[in-house]
Amino acid sequence: MIWLFNTILLLYLAVSNIAIILRIYKSFLQYMSPAKGYLTIALLLSSLGGIDYYVYEVTSEKFVVVEETKKVYQQIEERGLELQEIANQK
């Protein structure tokens, strides 16, 4: 389940970055000189990429923690039932 969320999140971040870059390019980057335009696009891509990487890592890690917590609670419930069965047998 985590891999599905990670894939959807990664696709969303990629599409949103492309949309942001295209919108900014159509707004004002096309009027810059090539050197300034390429430099600006490189800075935008690196900053957006850094933010997206952080969002992806934090969100992915939280989902991993949630899945691990679910597994732990499930094990606790199973052991609790086993302990209750043992106590009932005495």
pLDDT at site 16: 87
Whether this model's pTM surpasses 0.85: no
Q: Considering only residues 8 and 78, tell me which one the structure prediction assigns the higher pLDDT.
A: 8
SS3 (DSSP) at 90: coil
Q: In the structure, what pLDDT confidence band is assigned to residue 70 with cuts at 50, 70 and 90?
A: confident
- Closest residue by Cα to residue 17 from 59, 50, 45: 45
Pair 56, 9: CB distance under 8 Å: yes
d(CA 25, CA 2): 34
pLDDT at site 38: 82
pLDDT, one tens digit per residue, over 35-63 is 887 888 888 888 888 888 888 888 888 88
